[in-house]
């Protein structure tokens, strides 16, 4: 069912499929599913462009704020696809692993629909602006390596949202869009939990394999060419999401 959701191009139907998955449904962790073509399912719009070509986000105009909301909605839809992908792709994990990522998938779907709905109140729709594909490109790179997927998607790209979201919330509120700021507050709260899930399973695999958490992260970031992280960092949120002091120090030491 997660793979069916991942292959579905229509965002509304994609979310509906994920919502319909019962948490009490039987899970067979050792079942290996052959990868089909067409991952992830997408509509023709939005047009995918390099990050530098995505539209400007001027806060003083409705359209500028809509461009920002569209970019955020696109990130959340990518996060829906990422959670669905980790659910079906990686066999042989404990049942709780799949239950954790099902929770993430459903919450990411809710986030996307919150942003999509607010975008409609501004007179725009998802697909009206261009978007970039950086989040999914990392999923492609780590498709055969669960440890790398956990290290570089939830712990790197999604954790970056913990750092960036408070400033975006403040800008939206200052521009008079308190409703959008309130939506981002919900997303930030939930994303702490999502990053915590990524942290837990990354550290679990490191412990099982006798790997050092910090050293292994640095090796994976270099191997898969993860984007360099720049401060300032939301240390409080990162601690709540399971980063310990040694990891946070390494993060700050390596920041550009």
* Inter-residue contact 84 to 33 (CB < 8 Å): no
DSSP letter for each residue of 232-255: ---HHHHHHTT--HHHHHHHHHH-
Question: Over the stretch 191-225, which tens digit does the pLDDT of each residue have?
Answer: 999 999 999 999 999 999 999 999 999 999 999 99
In order of 22, 203, 224, the CA distances from 228 in angstroms are 38, 21, 12
Q: Is the pLDDT assigned to residue 135 strictly greater than 90?
A: no
Per-residue tokens: 44: 């023709």
* pLDDT band, very low/low/confident/very high, at 104 (cuts 50, 70, 90): very high
- Model confidence, pTM: 0.95
Cα separation of 250 and 40, whole Å?
Answer: 34
The whole-number pLDDT of residue 256 equals 58
Question: Over the stretch 12-48, which tens digit does the pLDDT of each residue have?
Answer: 999 999 999 999 999 999 999 999 999 999 999 999 9
CA atoms within 13 A of residue 49's CA, in its CB half-sphere: 13
Say which residue the tokens 């920002």 belong to: 68
DSSP 8-state symbol, 14? H
* Inter-residue contact 8 to 88 (CB < 8 Å): no
Task: Tell me the residue length of the chain.
Answer: 256
DSSP letter for each residue of 202-229: HHHHHHHHT--HHHHHHHHHHHTTPPPP
The whole-number pLDDT of residue 75 equals 95
């Amino acid at each position: 069912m997660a793979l069916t959701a991942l292959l579905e191009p229509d965002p509304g139907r994609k979310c509906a499929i994920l919502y319909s998955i019962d948490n009490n449904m039987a899970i067979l962790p050792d079942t290996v599913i052959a990868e089909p073509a067409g991952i992830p399912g997408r509509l023709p719009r939005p047009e995918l462009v390099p990050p530098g070509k995505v539209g400007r986000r001027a806060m003083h105009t409705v359209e500028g704020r809509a461009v920002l909301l569209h970019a955020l909605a696109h990130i959340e839809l990518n996060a829906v696809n990422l959670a669905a992908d980790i659910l079906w792709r990686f066999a042989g994990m404990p049942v709780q692993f799949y239950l954790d990522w099902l929770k993430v998938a459903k919450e990411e779907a809710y986030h996307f629909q919150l942003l999509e709905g607010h975008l409609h109140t501004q007179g725009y729709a998802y697909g009206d602006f261009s978007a970039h594909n950086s989040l999914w490109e990392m999923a492609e790179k780590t498709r055969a390596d669960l440890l790398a997927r956990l290290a570089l998607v939830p712990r790197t790209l999604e954790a970056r949202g913990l750092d960036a979201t408070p400033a975006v919330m403040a800008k939206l509120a200052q521009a008079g869009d308190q409703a959008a700021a309130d939506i981002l507050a919900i997303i930030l709260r939930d994303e702490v939990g999502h990053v915590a899930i990524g942290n837990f399973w990354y550290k679990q695999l490191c412990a099982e394999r006798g790997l050092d958490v910090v050293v292994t992260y640095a090796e994976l970031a270099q191997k898969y060419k993860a984007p360099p992280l720049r401060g300032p960092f939301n240390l409080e949120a990162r601690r709540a999401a399971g980063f310990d002091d040694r990891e946070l120090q390494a993060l700050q030491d390596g920041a550009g």
